Amino acid sequence: MSESVKEIVRKAGLRLLRMHYESRVGHIGGNLSCLDLLVTLHHRVLAPDDRFVLSKGHAAGALYATLWTRGLLTDTDLGTFHQDDTKLAGHPPVDGIPGLLFATGSLGHGLGLATGLALAKRLRREPGRVFCLMSDGEWNEGSCWEALTFAAHQRLGGLTILVDLNGLQGFGTTSEVANLDSLADKLRGFHIDVQEIDGHDAAAIERALGAAAGASELPTAIIARTVKGHGVSFMEHRMEWHYLPLNAEQYEAAVAELSQR
């Protein structure tokens, strides 16, 4: 039996902490919130013909750590994260990362890009699905709604939207800043298939992503309820971990907690 998703998530999480600690960079909270989603997707779901777009580009570290668990990036690669002369920029680069098709980081681009890939597959009669991981704060961007309107209208059943619903954005909670509650209901208004799951339950993620496969002629959205800073109690639900790097003491405490999970 292969390694459990939980075990891989733990390994990726510890490596992610080390990357952020050694490089002294923030954004750790929104990386930890989507790690279960990224690992499950990359280890249990993505097939060779499938494509993935990371719309929440600030979770680049979580993606790099996930690709490392699949042997697609090396330890040496990760050691250069956020340093001069690295290919692993703080947001995904234009090329050089296996499976990564687009530089992202400005929010509100990924869904349109994924929509274009899904439409290209349909027009070229190619197999495969397209997955797009988005943040919840990102839905403030009007371009997301343009893309959703288009994808639903074009009935792109090959498109699966994953939303990391961690409830915290740049300078407040999503409900304080520009309340979209409930996002699920708003997406249902586009007559697409919407599922709500626990975004830290690997089995639930795998079930939802599997069920979305060809089940519908319409795009599917999976709203994954998550915790920003998941797995490190002093980071959970806390705004500062959208930005702050870890000091040595915090790093050790975080490693100790994540190792226990």
Partner 1 sequence: MRTILSTALTELCKQPDFVFLTGDLGFMALEPVREAAGARFINAGVAEQNMVTVAAGLARGGLRPWVYSIAPFLYARPFEQIRNDVCLHGLPVALVGNGGGYAYGVMGATHHALEDYGALTGLPHLTAYVPAFAEDVGAAVARIAAGNGPAYLRLGRDEKPKGFTLPPYAPWRRVLAGGGPTMLIVGPLAGGIIEALLAAPEASRPSVWVVTELPLANSAEALPAAFLEDLRRSGHLFVIEEHVAQGGVGQMLAYALCKRALAPARFTHRFAQGYPSARYGSQKFHRKESGLDPASILAALQGSAA
Residues that bind partner 1 (CB under 8 A): 94-95, 101-104, 106, 108-109, 112-121, 123-124, 126, 142-143, 146-147, 149-150, 153-154
Provide the minimum distance between the beta carbon of 51 and partner 1 in the complex, in angstroms, as a whole number: 8
Identify which of 143, 138, 253, 156 has the alpha carbon closest to the alpha carbon of residue 212.
156
For residues 142 and 214, which CB has a smaller minimum distance to partner 1 in the complex? 142
Could you give the angle at the alpha carbon of 203 between the alpha carbons of 180 and 163, nearest 5°? 20
Provide the minimum distance between the beta carbon of 48 and partner 1 in the complex, in angstroms, as a whole number: 15
Provide the minimum distance between the beta carbon of 106 and partner 1 in the complex, in angstroms, as a whole number: 6
Cis status of the peptide bond prior to 23, with omega within 30 of 0: no
Q: Parallel, antiparallel, or unpaired for β 130-135 and 193-198?
A: unpaired
Task: Please state, in angstroms and as integers, the Cα–Cα distance from residue 191 to each residue in 73, 74, 178, 188, following that order.
Answer: 39, 42, 23, 5
For residues 72 and 119, which CB has a smaller minimum distance to partner 1 in the complex? 119
Provide the minimum distance between the beta carbon of 76 and partner 1 in the complex, in angstroms, as a whole number: 26
For residues 127 and 172, which CB has a smaller minimum distance to partner 1 in the complex? 127
Q: What is d(CA 121, CA 259) in angstroms, rounded to the nearest whole number?
A: 41
- How deeply is 59 buried, as exposed, middle or buried, from its count of CB atoms within 10 A (0-12, 13-18, 19+)? buried
> How many C-beta atoms surround the C-beta of residue 259 within 10 A?
11
Provide the minimum distance between the beta carbon of 56 and partner 1 in the complex, in angstroms, as a whole number: 15
For residues 94 and 256, which CB has a smaller minimum distance to partner 1 in the complex? 94
Provide the minimum distance between the beta carbon of 220 and partner 1 in the complex, in angstroms, as a whole number: 18
In 228-245, which positions are buried (b, 16+ CB within 10 angstroms) versus exposed (e)? bbbbbeebbbebebbebb
Provide the minimum distance between the beta carbon of 34 and partner 1 in the complex, in angstroms, as a whole number: 21
For residues 93 and 229, which CB has a smaller minimum distance to partner 1 in the complex? 93
For residues 125 and 214, which CB has a smaller minimum distance to partner 1 in the complex? 125
Order of all β-strands in the sheet with 193-198: 51-54, 130-135, 159-165, 220-225, 193-198
Q: Are 30 and 239 in contact (CB under 8 A)?
A: no
